[in-house]
Amino acid sequence: MPEDTGSALADVPTGAHQSVQIGELREIEQIRAQNRAPRVRWRSLLFRVFRFEEAIILGLLALFITAYLVVSGAPSPERLWAGFAYNFHGRGTMWMFTLWCVVGTAALLLVAMLPMARKGVARKLMHGVWGEAAGLGPRMRATTMWGLGGLRGYIPFLACMGVYEMNKRLIPAIRGDTMYDMQLANWEYAVFGDLSAAIVHKWMHAEWITTFIGWFNLTQLDIHEAAYISYVYAAPALAMALWFLGRRTQFNRFMGALVITGALAYIGYVLVPVVGPKYVFEGRWLEASSGALSFMDDIKDRNRDCFPSLHTAWTTLFLIASWKGVRPLFWVYMPVGIAVYIATLYGGYHYIPDIIAGHLLAIFAWWAAKPLREWWDRRAGVVRETQVSAT
């Protein structure tokens, strides 16, 4: 048998008899490759159909449905739906969320435009929307595709908020009366000699601080309310700004990190149910005013959603992502972010371990979002996008 025939037989593991010709071996191998191709394409298609964030949300929903069906004492579907629908009226979470997103996005986009205007390239602002499209028709098509793409990229974050609304009502059925507030409070007493929330509350009422904010006709509660609810619009507004400016890589990583943070935080709420010092040590805290924070109290009530602090985590993610993607927003929001960290303690909503866990969660989510998305996109056959300067 010729040498090339022997190598062909060795290269093509068909197990065929030596009498089979080389051409026939190659034909057999081609047929086998064609038969294998559909399986590879179908597996790749799953990665193409679903985005990375959508897969996480679907996983969360699967966990929720499984827990709902297995756990005894779960709230009725009517109660779940009533609680979910409540958030879409004029005072509910999602309504306020949407309202502040519109206002916050407009403000942040204005800040993001300033460096471009200063450099005399404000006319390029729409490049993130139109790309290289020229003429009315192509630009309208590009705008439509930009809007649909942004909407799809943004929906997982809204879905994440929806899962939270359902998850928080299921935790009591899963964990019963288990809460770890006393353990965290005892830790703070051992380390600081008092609750961290009480210490911060005392510090913030120093005479010079009260005098300073009095010059602006403000109160402590006004400032902390405004800071505490800023997470409602800040993170999603940054995402919209990144998408508008065409910074897709930063947008995708930020949105992935937001969803990862939300998913792990919800798991944390189940594993470590905590309601916060405000609701355990009543009488030591200022109650929410009739203004902005009223809907925050409506959201939280006695929900076991403190460990880790999602306010802290999403604020930290905003600062990281804005530094990487739209740096002017980092400098604008940094004082607000610091105020958020203070407000979580000032209002008696969190313990120090909640805050630490929130920071660590944000850092982990930001780190994990990149390799996880790259792994996902490789299987979907997505071409990596070009990095864009944050300035």
Assess whether 193 and 85 both reside in one domain. yes
Assess whether 107 and 40 both reside in one domain. no
Assess whether 185 and 209 both reside in one domain. yes
Asked if residue 386 is part of any domain, the answer here is no
Assess whether 33 and 107 both reside in one domain. no
Assess whether 163 and 211 both reside in one domain. yes
The yes-or-no verdict on residue 127 having pLDDT over 80 is no
The yes-or-no verdict on residue 120 having pLDDT over 50 is no
Token digits for 170?
């299921």
Domain that holds residue 36: 1-49
The yes-or-no verdict on residue 159 having pLDDT over 60 is yes
DSSP 384: P
Q: In the chain, what percentage of residues exceed pLDDT 90?
A: 17
Identify the pLDDT of residue 107: 65
- Indicate the number of domains in the chain: 2
Assess whether 33 and 56 both reside in one domain. no
Identify the pLDDT of residue 315: 93
Token digits for 134?
């020229």
Contact of 101 with 315, CB cutoff 8 Å: no
Assess whether 180 and 314 both reside in one domain. yes
pLDDT tens digits, one per residue of 303-357: 788 999 999 999 999 999 999 888 888 998 899 999 999 989 888 889 999 999 9
pLDDT tens digits, one per residue of 25-71: 566 566 666 555 445 456 667 777 788 888 888 888 888 888 888 88
Assess whether 147 and 108 both reside in one domain. yes
Mean pLDDT of 241-266: 87
Assess whether 271 and 134 both reside in one domain. yes
Contact of 300 with 330, CB cutoff 8 Å: no
Assess whether 192 and 298 both reside in one domain. yes
pTM for this prediction: 0.76
The yes-or-no verdict on residue 251 having pLDDT over 80 is yes
Assess whether 39 and 168 both reside in one domain. no
Q: Please, which pLDDT band fits residue 286 given cuts at 50, 70 and 90?
A: very low
Contact of 127 with 28, CB cutoff 8 Å: no
Q: In the chain, what percentage of residues exceed pLDDT 70?
A: 65
The yes-or-no verdict on residue 296 having pLDDT over 50 is no
Q: Is the preceding peptide bond at 172 cis, omega within 30 degrees of 0?
A: no
Assess whether 112 and 69 both reside in one domain. yes
Identify the pLDDT of residue 308: 93
Selected residue with higher pLDDT from 313 and 10:
313
